[in-house]
Amino acid sequence: MKRSAALLLAATVLAACSRTVVVPVPPKVDLKGYGPVGIVDFGSNSEETLSARATRQFQEQVQSAQPGTRFVELGDRQQLLAAVGAKQFDAPALRKIGAKYGVTAVFTGELA
């Protein structure tokens, strides 16, 4: 009898501790006001497939966290810079990319 009472008490305590509480946390950057955002294929000193997978997963995570975010895939970094006549991502290059591709922000990344 004592053993079954102890098991019942333990099960009750475990059930009470297993509740999940969801606390909404606003994003640090709210992309709703940006309109379409560009995403450049992430660079990597490793396999090309790793870069493509990381880019895709980043995009999925952003869209999951902020549904309705519209992405424009801008492709390879060097080809994109060449298309706007730039050598690096600086303010003038980003303005040209925005004008040419209709994006208001650009995500780029590097895997180490």
pLDDT along the chain (112 residues), means of 10: 60 60 73 90 84 91 90 94 95 96 93 82
Closest C-alpha among 91, 87, 62, 92 to residue 77: 87
Amino acid residing at 8: L
- Count other Cβ atoms within 10 Å, centred on residue 15: 9
Distance of CA 67 to the CA centre of its chain: 11
pTM for the whole structure: 0.71
Pick the CATH number of 27-111 from 3.30.300, 2.40.50, 1.10.150, 3.40.50: 3.40.50
pLDDT of residue 48: 75
SS3 (DSSP) at 110: strand
Kind plus residue range of the DSSP H or E element containing 54: helix 48-65
pLDDT of residue 101: 96
If you count DSSP H runs as helices and E runs as strands, how many of each does the chain have, helices first?
Answer: 4, 5
Question: What residues contact 59, with CB distance under 8 A and at least 6 apart?
Answer: 39, 71
pLDDT of residue 58: 92
